[in-house]
Structure 1
Amino acid sequence: MSQTKKKNSSGEETKPQTSFANKFFKGSKLRSSKAESRSESKDLETSDCQPSNGTEETTTPDPAKSQPLSSEMEGESRAEKNEQFLQKLGKKAVNKCLNLNNCGLRTADMKEVGEALKAIPELEELNLSWNSKVGGNLPLILQALQEGSKLQTLELVDCALTSEDGAFMGQLLPMLQSLEVLDLSINRNISGSLNRIAQGLKNTSNLKVLKLHSCGLSQDSVKILDAAFRYLCDLRRLDLSCNKELGGGFEGSPAQLATLRHLQVLNLHQCSLTAGDVVSLTQVIPLLSNLQELDLSANKKMGISSENLLSRLRFLPALKSLLINNCALENETLTALAEASVHLPGLEIFDLSWNKCIGGNLKLLVETLQLSASLQVLGLSSCSLVTEDVTLLASIIQTGHLAKLQKLDLSYNDSVCGTGWTVFCQNLQFLKELTELDISLRPSNFQNCGQWFGHLLHAMTKLPEITEIGMKRWVLTASQEEELERFNQDHKRRIHIDHGGFQ
């Protein structure tokens, strides 16, 4: 989540060292800082060493007056070293933000990172992600962050954090009263110190984003976090995805999750949710009335048990993104989803891919697709669609529905015959805002393009925004290759067509 940067409204005079730090993190060049220092030094020499009447006099320098110069030179030396360090990494601190993600930091760099933080006392955003050497060195790096820190965003994704780092994080969090975004994703070893982290989270009442994607969370982890949720009343985004051993943790109705009334994004992708989890979430999720994005995808055990949960999605009127791909939905659950989704007029992203039950049953979703005037992304990949499903979709498009659609994924539906693709391509031109279309075949299947390919090329001339056509494993004949070459010559737009080659 991108954060809005606060402007520095302070107009007060500052000490020379603070002044230089401010210049430093506005990204000022080192040479200009040196020039300013030389100019200020010259002014000091003039005022201290020369009389106002222009006659030569010998005066003894006042140590008290020399102290600011010494302090400034010390600050300049520190900032110069820090700037040299950041230049070596190809980075710089800008607008109170220090981004060192994926810099290949070495163990020897850790102390210099700690020193760099001291030179930026007003730091609001810090990103050290994708640097494995941060693991085991977190206390050394973040020791500069003291109580009263203005840090708002801290990202430590895939830093090989240790259990000890996690314990330190638990101690540090109460000092970061301004913290709004905390991302500890892809650090599997911190699960051992989750108790300490959760204790620290209880003191971060301003936290709006918490990401623990792929952190090795277990069933017990859910209960530990649930105890902290009641203190995070402003939380907007919660990501617990890709914690495959978390399944079963929601059983027993985690009551505190329901207190996150301002939650807008809940990501439980690939969490091995059980039938018991679904029962508990059925009681909780409908209470999150501000929810805008819900990701339950890749939870294959949901199956038939998700019928009640999906039927209650009607109580989430603000929902814009619903991802339930690869959830082993069955006919009953699809019916429940269809009935609930007509109450989601603001839906923009709807992904049902890899649910085989949709094949032959797309008609259940007709009303939803007709009412979803804001829909921008529709995923129906590997849904066992048949020709009737695709022609039905073409009919919906022809009547002016799905006019806002930008991305449409119909890949891996190999059972659709040429007639279906022809009807579809003939009506594709009505999707004026479409940018990406994927009709690729499965990896094991190669087929020749039918007559529909000509209709596809014609539709592309009517689609001003299209940039990407996925046609993997569809093979063009010699005449179709010529058609494509003529199209490319006549239309100088950048449209990438990824097909299976020429016959």
Structure 2
Amino acid sequence: MSQTRKKTSSEGETKPQTSSVNKFLRGSKAESRKENNDLKTTDSQPSNWIQKTAPSETVALLPFLPDLEELDISWNDFVGGTLHSITQQMHLVSKLKILRLGSCRLTTDDVQALGEALEMIPELEELNLSWNSKVGGNLPLILQKFQKGSKIQMLKLVDCTLTSEDGTFLGQLLPMLQSLEVLDLSINRDIGGSLNSIAQGLKSTSNLKVLKLHSCGLSQKSVKILDAAFRYLAELRKLDLSCNKDLGGGFEDSSAQLVMLKHLQVLDLHQCSLTADDVMSLTFALLAWKGAWKQESPSSMLGRWLVCAQVIPLLSNLQELDLSANKKMGNSSENLLSRLRFLPALKSLVINNCALESETFTALAETSVHLSALEVFNLSWNKCVGGNLKLLLETLKLSMSLRVLRLSSCSLVTEDVVLLASVIQMGHLAKLRKLDLSYNDSICDAGWTMFCQNVRFLKELIELDISLRPSNFRDCGQWFRHLLCAVIKLPQITEIGMKRWILPASQEEELECFDQDKKRSIHFDHGGFQ
């Protein structure tokens, strides 16, 4: 029980609000099935008992909680098939504002019972039915009671096996949900066929702040359909179209309305098979040029416009941009990357696995100096970084806000890691919390020694990963002792990834002594002992 209710806003902030008895959370709720699976065998029986008794306990308690505002029984498999016993009591908690039933293995009967019960909780603001496959094909049974004037603000239906018919129904329902702020339909691969209906409904949701269509089977045509709806979504803060591999080529002539999203803070387009023409269109969507425009030969999209005047950022509030796993960007994103300097609020830039070439990396390095608010910088799986980290020297020196730096599988050489060590030694990167240098197998022991001698200056570091590739095993050098000495001076570190580094017997003893003497909860994930 809690005397304070924390209402999660669409932007991830929590605001405490005073109330009487208002919150009921099952103790068996886990953040993921993985956490459940990681429990020790000795704990499995009590946890199992809690899950089995969750529905009956909930039913018994509801009559005593008339002011209940939040009910979360997610990740309880045994709710499936018994939900009707809970929904029959819903009239006793008519003030309920948040209902979460994620991953409860709901049956068709559960779904029908829920639909009938929702009419009894008119104050409902958040409904989460994610990871329940029986929701698919039965969405009208659940949401048919929603009427115009509904107070629902957050609707999450992730991985619910929604059908095209469900999507059509949802599109017709959206105009009734005038308070809707968050809509997450991710991992429903069949709703792409009903996108016309959904987009038409979105035109009536002017308060929408978060739209997630991750892995929804979207196509090139989908971009044009959504583009027509964007002009009505002026309050949108987050747009996720990621992992729609057939989207590539759709932005070429259909990103004009993206500029209408003046308040957009997060744009996620990773793994969308973006083409060179997509990248050029996105460049003009992010930024406009005030002045004279002259059209060149239409056969050359990359050189379509000559611009004579100043740059005007259209999405000036953009804070997070994820373009990762779009390999065709490698030789065509120079214009886009060089103009990111005009997005002053950018905090997270993720462009890993984009097959960047030397020219595009140079453009990125030159523009990153101007991104003073940058907190997350992910360049992993771009081989061109190797031997060229010096191009980022000024950025690393000036990045006072950087919290996460990922350079995994970048073909880094000893010279690169020595450079990084010198930057750290000079007191730069002091705010860094996560550093990923894994899968860079060409760094010699001398380079690792230099790095480990200086990593102690990263006082806020929590995670460090220097793992080797799966195909490579190496003995730890003398640098391991320097690493242990550095860890003593890192008060917050909890995780050190050293996969496939093999510890000789002498270093095994040092590690065991370290664990015993320091009484620190630090996980060394290494390749084993020999």
Superposed pair shares fold, TM > 0.5: yes
Alignment map for 1:63-462 (pairs within 5 Å): 84-85=85-86, 96-286=97-287, 287-462=314-489
Q: 2:521 aligns with which of 486, 490, 494?
A: 494
**Contact 2:224/2:254, CA 8 A, preserved across alignment:** no
Alpha-carbon distance in 1 for matches of 2:462, 2:489: 12
Letter in 2 for 1:492: K
CA offsets, 1:448-477, max 9 Å, x none?
000000000000000000000000000001
CA offsets, 1:44-85, max 9 Å, x none?
xxxxxxxxxxxxxxxxxxxxxxxxxxxxxxxxxxxxx97832
1:87 positional shift: 10
3-state SS of paired residue (1:126): strand
RMSD: 2.4
Normalised by the length of structure 1, the TM-score is 0.85
3-state SS of paired residue (1:301): helix
Deviates more, 1:485-494 or 1:205-214: 485-494
**Contact 2:171/2:199, CA 8 A, preserved across alignment:** yes
Alpha-carbon distance in 2 for matches of 1:463, 1:87: 54
1:24 positional shift: 9.0
| Structure 2: segments with no counterpart, 5+ residues | 1-9, 26-56, 67-81, 288-313
Alpha-carbon distance in 1 for matches of 2:65, 2:460: 53
Alpha-carbon distance in 2 for matches of 1:424, 1:24: 51
3-state SS of paired residue (2:246): coil
Q: Tell me: CA distance 1:5–1:139, structure 2 relative to 1, closer, same or farther (3 Å).
A: farther
**Contact 2:223/2:254, CA 8 A, preserved across alignment:** no
**Contact 2:213/2:240, CA 8 A, preserved across alignment:** yes
CA offsets, 1:173-230, max 9 Å, x none?
0000000000000011111110000000000000000000000000000000000000
**Contact 2:130/2:159, CA 8 A, preserved across alignment:** yes
Question: What residue in structure 2 maps to residue 484 of structure 1?
Answer: 511
**Contact 1:85/1:112, CA 8 A, preserved across alignment:** no
Letter in 1 for 2:145: A
Q: Tell me: CA distance 1:421–1:94, structure 2 relative to 1, closer, same or farther (3 Å).
A: farther
Alignment map for 1:15-94 (pairs within 5 Å): 84-85=85-86
**Contact 1:125/1:153, CA 8 A, preserved across alignment:** yes
Alpha-carbon distance in 2 for matches of 1:191, 1:6: 38
Alpha-carbon distance in 2 for matches of 1:3, 1:148: 25
Alpha-carbon distance in 1 for matches of 2:136, 2:107: 11
* More strand as a share of residues: 2
**Contact 2:96/2:123, CA 8 A, preserved across alignment:** no
Q: Tell me: CA distance 1:218–1:484, structure 2 relative to 1, closer, same or farther (3 Å).
A: same
Which structure has the greater CA radius of gyration?
1
Q: Tell me: CA distance 1:6–1:464, structure 2 relative to 1, closer, same or farther (3 Å).
A: closer
Question: What residue in structure 1 maps to residue 39 of structure 2?
Answer: none
CA offsets, 1:393-434, max 9 Å, x none?
000000000000000000000000000000000001000000
**Contact 1:25/1:120, CA 8 A, preserved across alignment:** no
**Contact 1:93/1:99, CA 8 A, preserved across alignment:** no
Question: What residue in structure 1 maps to residue 300 of structure 2?
Answer: none
**Contact 1:475/1:499, CA 8 A, preserved across alignment:** yes
Alpha-carbon distance in 2 for matches of 1:336, 1:219: 28
1:3 positional shift: 6.3
| Structure 1: segments with no counterpart, 5+ residues | 10-21, 38-80
**Contact 2:227/2:254, CA 8 A, preserved across alignment:** no
Letter in 2 for 1:114: G
**Contact 1:25/1:95, CA 8 A, preserved across alignment:** no
The percent identity for this pair of structures is 74
Q: Tell me: CA distance 1:258–1:197, structure 2 relative to 1, closer, same or farther (3 Å).
A: same
1:118 positional shift: 1.6
1:488 positional shift: 0.7
Alpha-carbon distance in 2 for matches of 1:441, 1:138: 47
Normalised by the length of structure 2, the TM-score is 0.80
Moved over 6 A (4+): 22-33
Q: Tell me: CA distance 1:399–1:26, structure 2 relative to 1, closer, same or farther (3 Å).
A: closer
1:119 positional shift: 2.0
Letter in 1 for 2:100: N
1:392 positional shift: 0.2
CA offsets, 1:217-261, max 9 Å, x none?
000000000000000000000000000000000002521001101
Alpha-carbon distance in 1 for matches of 2:65, 2:443: 72
Alpha-carbon distance in 2 for matches of 1:157, 1:36: 29
